[in-house]
Amino acid sequence: MDKIVIEGGVPLRGGATVSGAKNAALPVVASALLAEGEHVVRNVPELADVRTMDRLLSAMGCEVARGSGADRHVLSIRVPRSVKPEAPYEMVKTMRASVVVLGPLVARWGRARVSLPGGCAIGARPIDQHLKGLSALGADLSLEHGYVEARALRGRLRGATFVFDGVTVTGTENVMMAAVLAEGTTVLGNCAREPEVVDLAEALVAMGARIRGAGTQEITIEGVERLRPLSHAVIADRIEAGTLLVAGAFPGNDVAVQGCVPAHLEALVEKLRLVGARVEPIPGGLRVVGDGRPRPVDVRTAPFPGFATDMQAQMMALLTLADGSSVLTETVFENRYMHVLELKRLGADITVDGRAAVVKGVPALSGAPVMASDLRASAALVLAGLAASGTTEVHRVYHLDRGYERLEEKLAPLGARLRRTRA
């Protein structure tokens, strides 16, 4: 198991380029199942989670190949006429997002068998809304031996009106993918408005799907009989970009983030400005300059366009050094404060009360060994370690590798002193 060893306290200065978005790539790759033939997806980050999705499609009978050298972000997927429409427990347990194959499978082959994801470090994360949406489209669902068995009555789903009880990103994606091949029109209400949903809709439209309203609360889909293969470039990763922007906001830092989409980062940029950082547009991205000690700021996570839950841990790392107290409120996941105890090991002063965390700023952090508990928590620990004096060792970096493409190689050119070693 790898760890990252950080010599902190060195100012970060320079530029970094953002990779493709994990959370857009996963559903886009799964959407290839909707059409037979040769698909090409570009700007696909090289990440453990994407490899899990590749393996899942391969296990079903698809051929998935990643290019090499300059083409290493290009994924070619050959989807045969028929596949084994199943997502086994071994894969779903390593990546919950595997569940996004459910919609495409039942839409195209009229049946699917997908393992029910179990618990998760950041919250219960049920998939009841995915299932309710598919059921509204006419899927007959049953739970057998830990698997969701889905069948489309008469082999094809049919359009329907469905309103999600709560906003769900992969739930919206799953049901939208199911509806594109359904008979008739589907209207989905209370949809997630995340840029990843919009990216998936654009990929589907390029395949011949008829979708309106992605990016708003109501998405209308007119089902078609068949789609053509996918050719799509995935959007830039707004969470990786956001993580680098927060890195720039630490005192003494100056980071230019290239290749990001500022419109996807507005809620974060607003908070970084309130913290006192200078954020300015540059060609192809944003630059952040950390002007002295951060000012405290309250942050409440919410679905897009609100402040992303996936940025909560990194923002908390920054606020540990603020000149006063901040209150962070996590409204999306019920247990997303696993990083708090680890940040405290670095000298942070944080108290959690239910969904709220009070972060009392301290003048400095001091390096220590810490343990990553989930993907974004590990990024927060890296940021805090870079700002802390002395040595920080971040253990269990496999969490980081699930969603950041060699983060240490993006930070090192900024002057960060960090290296990956075997723990």
Q: Which residues are catalytic?
A: 120
**Residue with smaller CB distance to ligand EPU, 36 or 196:** 196
Closest CB 242 distance from ligand EPU, rounded Å: 11
* Alpha-carbon separation of residue 277 from 162, 292, 353 (angstroms): 43, 8, 28
**Residue with smaller CB distance to ligand EPU, 49 or 408:** 49
Beta 161-163 vs 147-152: how paired, if at all?
unpaired
CA 218 from chain centre, in angstroms, equals 22
Query: Which residues are CB-neighbours of 70 under 8 A, at least 6 positions away?
Result: none
C-alpha–C-alpha distance, residues 91 and 95, integer Å: 6
Query: Which residues are CB-neighbours of 71 under 8 A, at least 6 positions away?
Result: none
Closest CB 25 distance from ligand EPU, rounded Å: 9
Determine whether 177 is exposed, middle or buried from the number of CB atoms within 10 Å of its CB (0-12, 13-18, 19+): buried
Closest CB 194 distance from ligand EPU, rounded Å: 6
**Residue with smaller CB distance to ligand EPU, 94 or 391:** 94
Query: Which residues are CB-neighbours of 182 under 8 A, at least 6 positions away?
Result: 107, 137, 138, 156, 157, 158, 159, 221, 223
Tokens of 41: 């997806």
**Residues at the contact surface with ligand EPU, assessed by CB under 6 A:** 23, 26, 97, 123-130, 166, 168-171, 192, 196, 309-310, 332-333, 375-376, 403
Closest CB 403 distance from ligand EPU, rounded Å: 5
**Residue with smaller CB distance to ligand EPU, 234 or 322:** 234
Closest CB 309 distance from ligand EPU, rounded Å: 5
**Residue with smaller CB distance to ligand EPU, 253 or 312:** 312
**Residue with smaller CB distance to ligand EPU, 48 or 368:** 48
Residue with tokens 């952040």: 288
Closest CB 123 distance from ligand EPU, rounded Å: 5
